[in-house]
A and B are shown apart, each in its own frame.
Chain A
Amino acid sequence: MHTSLTEDTLTLLEKKARDVRETLIRMLTEAGSGHTAGSLGMADIFVALYFHVLNHNPQDPEWEDRDRLVLSNGHIVPVRYATMAHAGYFPVEETMTLRKLGSRLQGHPERTKLPGLETTSGPLGTGLSQASGMALAAKMDKKKYRVYCAMSDGEHQAGNVWEAAMFAGANKLGNLVGIIDRNNIQINGMTEEVMPLEPLQEKYKSFGWHVLEVDGHNIEDIVDAYDKARAIYEKPTLIVAHTIPGKGIPDIEFDYTWHGKSPTTEEAKKFIEEVRSMCGKVTCGDKD
């Protein structure tokens, strides 16, 4: 593995991922509602982005030359809030206000409420369009910042995503990186049973994208993919990240009923113990 990660950094990122997961359990339990499985499943990827990949400044969220991270599937925003808090955008205690009246941490992200969110999202399928608009504008203005767009797999059933994929490919947006949380679940069940998405990678390739595939819980693997994407300048890059919904909490892993609910107080105690005992690496094992 040729990555830009040192062993020390990797250890730090793995610890951060555990901290983020613990915060996630606490904030979702306190909120009493929210999307637990998808948020936990993307913890490693968001930690890799905020603590290593993104060129950003938590003290100056509106910095003009920052890399843009667009979250298209807004329902997993708890993982973004938790990671931003640990990265220093706002106090970790504020995550306890999630979904409460007057909070900057709305149930689905609102850009105008919290600096650093980049977009307002929730209705699925539009993030890649917005990210493409940012990337095109950067090319027009010869700006160096890069644009990252996190998407769910289920939202690829929405036509708007493919309009955007076509547009980004046609405009050769080499400064754009899409990442799909390929966790295979959606509200009504497994994606391939609800409305099959495969062959997902071939679809993107045919739209003019470079496609990479990673283990979404292996931080070295994730960072390596982002490094590779940086070197691909002639076309946009898609990273298909294989993730386990609920990763880190055995009771939640692979269970689609955890898509849109939060833990009870009793469950939270057990889950936090489990997260804390995730020593070292998070690996993507086969469970089925």
Chain B
Amino acid sequence: MLNKNIKLNTKIFDTDVERAPTRDGFGNGAIEAGEKDTNVVVLCADLADSTRAQWFRDKFPDRYIELGVAEQNMAAVASGMASVGKIPFITSYAAFNPGRNYEQIRTTVALNEMPVKVCGMHAGVSVGPDGATHQMLEDIGLMRMLPNMTVVYPADAEEARKATYDSAFNKKPTYLRFAREKTPLMTTKDTPFTIGKAYTMWEGKDPEVTIIGVGPLLHEALKAAVALEKEGIAVSVINSHTIKPLDEETILNAIKKSGAVVTVEEHQKAGGFGSAVAELLSQNYPVPQEYIAVDDRFGQSGTPSELIAHYKLDATAIIDAVKKVKKRK
């Protein structure tokens, strides 16, 4: 059943559940952070509307910086601004930020320990019709490999708002991953959120499998949990929004109870969130693991829901993975 203690959206399983893209959460969170601290600045590379950087520009035109189509410059300019006290959010599609400007982020932000907030929008295949070039599936890997980097992938627009706001004040290089498509609001403003702290969204009685997910696909995981319960298979669902540093304690405690895990992410299997969990488990508590992830392929054009189903990232695929991993115990 849903965790009653964390004030999740009561309409979470309704067909008319409220939907919003997580990038809206960025837009709102950046404004809130900007209201709190005049050092917050938002940098934009010619994608003001679709990244929601425009919302910040409308409110704080003097603290909005336009770079044009120059993501490498954006990252390094932000590093320079951070070195003299600014709190820069750099925004573009994840394919370009951190795709195009990886080395600038590595050297001038991560190694240089500058508290720049790298905001990768339109991540994952759910970008839809734009196709593979714009469907970034390698960003979690790129960012979590970097020492000093915090990596956060919010589950919905509300969590994205909190993650954006909190990251402004964590004093660390941080990667925030957002999506284009409207997805269900699972959390509310009263749901607790702390960077680095995973939480259980669903807890079956004596769970046989732990589903640990990141991002909007957690809604698919919750739908899978409901369906599995009807079949008599108990699972728990954990939202591990912070991929780095991983909340090792919460994850290990859950897996010691269930003895099997399914990781869920809209990203390449290699190097992604599931890999991070596997790294943790292989050294501490090895159990069978199945991955819901894109398996060494690029995306393609299609509608978001078609693509989520095609790449086996939906509730049906999660149900199959749970049954498979249960047999391997």
Contacts and interface: CB of A to CB of B under 8 A. Distances in A.
Interface of A: 68, 70, 110-112, 118-123, 125-127, 129-138, 140-141, 143, 159-160, 163-164, 166-167
A121 B114 CA distance: 13
Contact of B77 (A120, A123, A129, A141): A129
A120 B84 contact: no
Contact of A133 (B70, B72, B78): B78
B107 A122 contact: yes
Given A163-B73, A167-B73, A133 B80 contact: yes
B80 A129 contact: yes
Contacts of A136: 65, 77, 80-81
B188 interface: no
B68 interface: yes
Contact of A119 (B67, B70, B79): B79
B103 A133 contact: no
Interface string B177-194: 000000000000000000
Contacts of B88: 133
A110 B111 contact: yes
B73 A129 contact: yes
Question: Nearest 6 A-B pairs (CB), nearest first?
Answer: A133-B80, A129-B76, A163-B73, A130-B80, A133-B77, A163-B70
A36 B270 CA distance: 42
A123 B103 contact: yes
Contacts of A138: 84
A84 to B, nearest CB: 18
Contacts of A111: 83, 112-113
B84 A137 contact: yes
Contacts, number: 105
A160 B73 contact: yes
B76 A130 contact: yes
A182 B104 CA distance: 24
Given A163-B72, A164-B73, A167-B67, A134 B112 contact: no
Contacts of B62: 140
B86 A137 contact: yes
Nearest to A108: B107
Nearest to A120: B112
A133 B81 contact: yes
Nearest to A143: B84
Contact of B107 (A126, A137, A159): A126
Contacts of A126: 72, 76, 79, 104, 107-108
Nearest to B62: A140
B85 interface: yes
A133 B104 CA distance: 14
A120 B108 contact: yes
A134 B81 contact: yes
Given A126-B107, A134-B80, 18 more contacts: A70-B80, A112-B111, A120-B108, A122-B107, A129-B73, A129-B80, A133-B79, A133-B80, A133-B84, A133-B86, A134-B83, A134-B84, A137-B81, A137-B86, A140-B62, A140-B86, A160-B76, A164-B76
Interface in B27-84: 41, 62-63, 65, 67-68, 70, 72-73, 75-84
A123 B76 CA distance: 12
Interface in B212-236: none
B39 to A, nearest CB: 9
A133 B113 contact: no
A274 B75 CA distance: 44
A121 B81 contact: no
13 contacts: A120-B108, A131-B80, A133-B78, A133-B81, A133-B83, A133-B84, A136-B65, A137-B86, A138-B84, A140-B41, A160-B76, A164-B73, A166-B70
